[in-house]
């Protein structure tokens, strides 16, 4: 299949049909009318704006989440904006099918209307980055900038987004750390097309700084401060936000996700295929065979997921997995890798380790022998010897990895996500065995198909 | 038992009896006569000198090795000294009971006479350190200096030597790295008595420099050069040789042997006992019980000892043991300790390790992904993933420690003593089992009774 044929086929699947466009336009029209009407009813000075991929016409077929932002005048006190914004959202939402309250920097309404999810979010009516007061205020500016600059490349953005989704590099959530939709739009606007962005995968990294709005010339001081800060944080890319020179649009992009994009871009250009956009599910294998093949061991912790949303749960699971890695390495186990996630109301952490048992003694390095501490160490330890000036002693330790983990948790020597501490302590621990619903996950993890670059 | 009673009891055992003294004196008289006579026969200009502990009257009861040095005039060429010295030694030795040729810096004669070993060693007749030309030339000066300064403290030296032997810190050979007899004599002369030397165990280390001849005032430049050199080499003690400011008498003393002296001195002063001088043999235990208790594994290599003398064999065995330690640690095994030695014509190296098997895969860290080498690494490896900017891959490795060792030896990845290389490659390898004659050694090693400070 030629690259053109692949692109044509993918576009056929991801470009919204005329029917879908009509549906979306009508839906937005209705929502706008409803919002204007409700604002008037309540006698408020609020402008409704659509933001996000629907407003920019960069949404993928079938992906219709609506973002309706309610812009309050800049002089509104923050507390008032929060209260009246939520109230207004609720009144609008009551006219739709159903709704619930969701939480980000401030609470907002997530409603459902004709099968589409509608986020109704209060914000300030900013005209410039200098006015920005809350995290969501830039969205209106982003939407405006994209619409002014996209020049009909909307399908190119769709291709890039679908490609990033297919290779698992899409989403700027903290637990993904991939490319955001806005970043994809900027890259297409900057380099001209989907293929051009892929061809620039190596170039971009070397260039490091992308500055479509020329902030480095317009606002050199502020822009340079941003660049310096982001260089120090060792980001793979620094994309100065066209609507705010203080912000790196790629701040959440990790080296790992960029690397995934990097190798897939090379591969796709060499051997184009629709598989990059629509990957087949990995064929499952047997995780016990993997363990036997590798001679490693799998420790799995399963515990209640504490009703946490992904934004909180997943980073805390990652933190906890890293905490176990560190603590176990200190105890002499080698951690080959970790994995985490949830299934139903149960969260899990998997650790692949080099052994399930260790010796029951450990060599404990002590101080130099001719010091007060050295003489103490000599007195306190039974089996003690010298290497050079340093004393060493033999120390009894727990052999089994589950006993070691229990002891580490008891002594609070594992750094855990703060909302998970209690749950982890009551976790079920399993060695070289997982319940049926985690067998597939265990296989993908152990076979490295999950984080692997070669799938 | 009081300290005085202990000392009296030890002296009773180590001080030569009148009978023994008479025997030794007569023996030396006869040897001297024989030497003078032979020198005249051969028409040589050579002065016989006795050196060593017999000549200094610091020998222990029953310990009668005679050192007869044959001093040639300074103007003798080295080659002539070697040849004529060996010839003269042989002619003298033929008049004794038996002899053989031994090798140090130059060859010498080791004879036997009336059950006593007699070393007949050619040297230069030096009067000052400025004349010293070969390693043995200082001996005559040492003997003279000790005899001029010992002032009747001969028994104190005997006590210190026996103490050092008892705690296994005596002997300056490279494979012991303890206190030499001459060092013991200097310490007694400097501090006044056996007990005073023990009481100064901590003080000496802090003082660091011992300079009985005041070289730092008499020859400041040369003496300071010696001090600087030895400080850089991080010696526990710097004892400027009373007969040569260029030499540290304690150059071969290791921190480990000093540490053994240090703790035993403290213990003896607190709880005096004859056991320090005459230790009981450690009660043997079962090495397999030790392995079970510790959960570790014992790898033993046994190979021919290549007819090497201790001075060559033992340092090379140590070097090889360290080589195995390094190589195995690189391969992911933890080496808890090593031991070496020989029994009959077989040398052995023992390695205590944390496991006999490792996983059959290893995580191989690669380069940063966005480099030429990174793209290569990606192409060449099957299972590859990212952590940060770095690529990692899974690599198959041998699981069993014996296979790992074989592979390391095949690839010359173990640093071995040069005369042992071939023998080690043909070694027998044993895991968790040793032949009967090594069972005791294995127990002492694994239980840490061998290098342990608490016996």
How far from A368 is each of A365, B256, B304, B446, CA to CA, in Å? 10, 11, 38, 23
The SS3 call for residue B204 is helix
Interchain proximity B295–A361, CB inside 8 Å: yes
Residue A67 marked in a binding site: yes
pLDDT in tens, B329-357: 999 999 999 999 998 889 999 999 999 99
What are the φ and ψ backbone dihedral angles of A285, each rounded to 5 degrees? -125, -170
pLDDT in tens, A244-282: 999 999 999 999 999 999 999 999 999 999 999 999 887
Nearest Cα neighbor of B50 from B152, B114, B120 is B120
Computed over every residue of chain A, the mean pLDDT equals: 94
Residue A161 marked in a binding site: yes
pLDDT of residue A344: 86
Distance spanning both ends of chain B, measured CA to CA: 21
pLDDT of residue A270: 96
B104, pLDDT greater than 80: no
Q: A448 pLDDT band (50/70/90 cuts)?
A: confident
- Residue A210, Cβ density class (10 Å: 0-12 exposed, 13-18 middle, ≥19 buried): buried
Tell me how far apart the alpha carbons of residues B355 and B370 are, in angstroms, rounded to a whole number.
38
pLDDT in tens, B112-155: 999 999 999 999 999 999 999 988 999 999 999 999 999 999 99
- Provide, as residue numbers in chain A, all residues whose Cβ is less than 8 Å from the Cβ of B260: 386
pLDDT of residue A397: 95
Residue A340 marked in a binding site: no
Tell me how far apart the alpha carbons of residues A258 and A208 are, in angstroms, rounded to a whole number.
12
Instruction: Calculate mean pLDDT across residues A91-108.
Output: 89
What are A276's two structure tokens?
Answer: 């990059």
Q: For chain A, list the domains and their CATH numbers.
A: 16-137 (3.30.460.10), 150-276 (1.10.1410.30), 287-358+398-446 (3.30.70.590), 361-396 (no CATH)
pLDDT of residue A455: 64
Interchain proximity B388–A294, CB inside 8 Å: no
- Provide, as residue numbers in chain B, all residues whose Cβ is less than 8 Å from the Cβ of A357: 295
Instruction: Calculate mean pLDDT across residues A50-72.
Output: 95
What are the φ and ψ backbone dihedral angles of A245, each rounded to 5 degrees? -65, -10
Interchain proximity A451–B386, CB inside 8 Å: yes
- Provide, as residue numbers in chain A, all residues whose Cβ is less than 8 Å from the Cβ of B296: 359, 361
Residue A289 marked in a binding site: no
pLDDT of residue A115: 92
The shortest CB-CB distance from A370 to any of B202, B382, B394 is to B202
Computed over every residue of chain B, the mean pLDDT equals: 94
Residue appearing with tokens 């002014």: A148
Interchain proximity B370–A295, CB inside 8 Å: no
pLDDT of residue A454: 78
CA distance A357 to chain B (A): 9
pLDDT of residue A439: 93
The shortest CB-CB distance from B378 to any of A202, A263, A389 is to A263
Q: Find the Cα–Cα–Cα–Cα dihedral A52, A55, A59, A63, rounded to 10°.
A: 80
List, in sequence order, every residue forming a beta bridge with A153; answer none if it has no partner: none
Across A226-235, B408-417, B444-453, least confident range: B444-453
- Provide, as residue numbers in chain A, all residues whose Cβ is less than 8 Å from the Cβ of B334: 332
pLDDT of residue A71: 96
Tell me how far apart the alpha carbons of residues B365 and B199 are, in angstroms, rounded to a whole number.
54
Residue A128 marked in a binding site: no
Shortest CA distance from A364: residue in chain B: B336
pLDDT of residue B311: 83
Helices (H) and strands (E) in chain A, counts: 18, 15
The whole-angstrom distance between residue B135's C-alpha and the CA centroid of its chain comes to 17
Q: Are A327 and A413 in contact (CB under 8 A)?
A: yes
Q: Find the Cα–Cα–Cα–Cα dihedral A136, A142, A143, A147, rounded to 10°.
A: 180
Spell out the alpha helix ranges (H) of A95-200: 138-149, 154-166, 181-191, 194-199
What are B156's two structure tokens?
Answer: 């104190």
pLDDT of residue B280: 87
pLDDT in tens, B24-73: 999 999 999 999 999 999 999 999 999 999 999 999 999 989 999 999 99
pLDDT of residue A255: 96
Q: B455 pLDDT band (50/70/90 cuts)?
A: low
Percentage of chain A with pLDDT > 70? 100
This complex has an ipTM of 0.86
The SS3 call for residue B171 is coil
Q: Are B205 and B149 in contact (CB under 8 A)?
A: no
- Provide, as residue numbers in chain A, all residues whose Cβ is less than 8 Å from the Cβ of B332: 334, 354
Tell me how far apart the alpha carbons of residues B257 and B250 are, in angstroms, rounded to a whole number.
11
pLDDT of residue B107: 86
Interchain proximity A369–B451, CB inside 8 Å: no
How far from B363 is each of A119, A452, B400, CA to CA, in Å? 45, 13, 17
Instruction: Calculate mean pLDDT across residues B176-197.
Output: 97
Interchain proximity A454–B382, CB inside 8 Å: yes
Instruction: Calculate mean pLDDT across residues B268-297.
Output: 92
Interchain proximity A448–B383, CB inside 8 Å: yes
- Provide, as residue numbers in chain A, all residues whose Cβ is less than 8 Å from the Cβ of B361: 293-296, 336
Tell me how far apart the alpha carbons of residues B270 and B263 are, in angstroms, rounded to a whole number.
11
């Amino acid at each position: 299949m030629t690259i053109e044929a692949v692109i044509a086929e993918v576009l056929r699947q991801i470009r919204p049909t005329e029917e879908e466009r009509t549906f979306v336009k009508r839906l937005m029209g209705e929502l706008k009318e409803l919002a204007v009407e409700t604002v008037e009813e309540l006698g408020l000075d609020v402008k409704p704006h659509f933001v996000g991929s629907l407003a920019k016409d960069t949404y993928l077929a079938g992906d219709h989440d609506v973002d309706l932002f309610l812009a309050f005048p800049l002089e509104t006190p923050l507390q008032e904006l929060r209260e009246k914004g939520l109230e207004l959202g609720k009144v609008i939402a009551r006219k739709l099918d159903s709704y619930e309250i969701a939480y980000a920097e401030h609470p907002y309404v997530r409603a459902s209307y004709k099968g589409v999810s509608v986020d109704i979010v209060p914000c300030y009516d900013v005209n410039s980055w200098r006015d920005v007061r809350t995290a969501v205020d830039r969205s209106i500016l982003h939407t405006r900038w994209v619409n002014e600059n996209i020049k009909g490349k909307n399908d190119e953005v769709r291709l890039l987004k679908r490609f990033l989704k297919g290779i698992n590099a899409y989403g700027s959530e903290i637990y993904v750390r991939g490319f955001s939709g806005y970043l994809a739009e900027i890259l297409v606007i900057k380099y001209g097309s989907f293929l051009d962005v892929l061809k620039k995968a190596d170039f971009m990294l070397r260039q490091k700084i992308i500055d479509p709005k020329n902030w480095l010339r317009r606002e050199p001081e502020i822009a340079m401060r941003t660049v310096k800060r982001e260089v120090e944080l060792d980001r793979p890319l620094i994309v100065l936000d066209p609507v705010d020179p203080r912000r790196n649009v790629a701040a959440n992009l990790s080296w790992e996700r960029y690397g995934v994009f990097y190798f897939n871009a090379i591969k796709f250009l060499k051997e184009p295929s629709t598989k990059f956009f629509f990957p087949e599910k990995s064929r499952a294998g047997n995780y016990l065979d993997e363990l036997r093949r590798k001679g490693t061991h799998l420790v799995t912790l399963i515990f209640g997921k504490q009703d946490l949303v992904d934004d909180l749960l997943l980073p805390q699971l990652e933190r906890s997995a890293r905490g176990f890695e560190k603590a176990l390495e200190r105890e002499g186990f080698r951690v080959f890798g970790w994995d985490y996630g949830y299934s139903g109301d149960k969260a899990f952490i998997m650790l692949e380790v080099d052994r399930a048992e260790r010796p029951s003694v450990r060599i404990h390095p002590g101080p130099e022998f001719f010091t007060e501490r050295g003489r103490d160490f000599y007195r306190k330890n039974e089996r003690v010897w010298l290497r050079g000036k340093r004393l060493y002693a033999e120390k009894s330790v727990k052999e089994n990895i589950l006993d070691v983990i229990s002891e580490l948790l008891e002594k609070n020597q594992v750094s855990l996500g703060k909302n998970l501490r209690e749950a982890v302590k009551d976790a079920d621990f399993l060695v070289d065995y997982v319940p049926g619903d985690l067998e597939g996950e265990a296989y993908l993890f152990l076979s490295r198909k999950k984080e692997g670059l070669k799938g």
